Amino acid sequence: MVLGIHEGAQARYGGLEALKRERPDLLKPLQLFGTSAGFRELDAGGADKMHALWSPRIEPAVRDIHAFWLPHGRRTMTAHGGPAPMH
């Protein structure tokens, strides 16, 4: 799941660096439920407890990530596969 986010952000915005730097908290719920390291963290904290704590944060995080990128401008892929700014 997070790999898809990285690929999408790379294609559309040139990477996740700005988001990681300015709002790393928004990636946390996605990393917990979308990576092997996240699953280990969920298990270590008690899967039921961690799931109850973090799963409700996924939807707001996705909305906030979308809102974060809006002022950065949208990009699409060119015919050659590289990103191109949209006007």
Per-residue pLDDT band for 7 (boundaries 50, 70, 90) equals low
* Distance separating alpha carbons of residues 83 and 5, to the nearest angstrom: 16
pLDDT confidence of residue 70: 85
In sequence order, the 6+-apart residues with CB closer than 8 A to the CB of 10 are 16
Global pTM reads 0.64
Say how many CA atoms lie within 13 Å of 70 toward its Cβ.
7
> Domains of the chain: which residue ranges?
2-74
Q: What is the largest CA-CA distance in the chain?
A: 47
Q: What are the pLDDT digits (tens) for 36-72?
A: 999 999 999 998 999 999 999 999 999 999 898 888 7
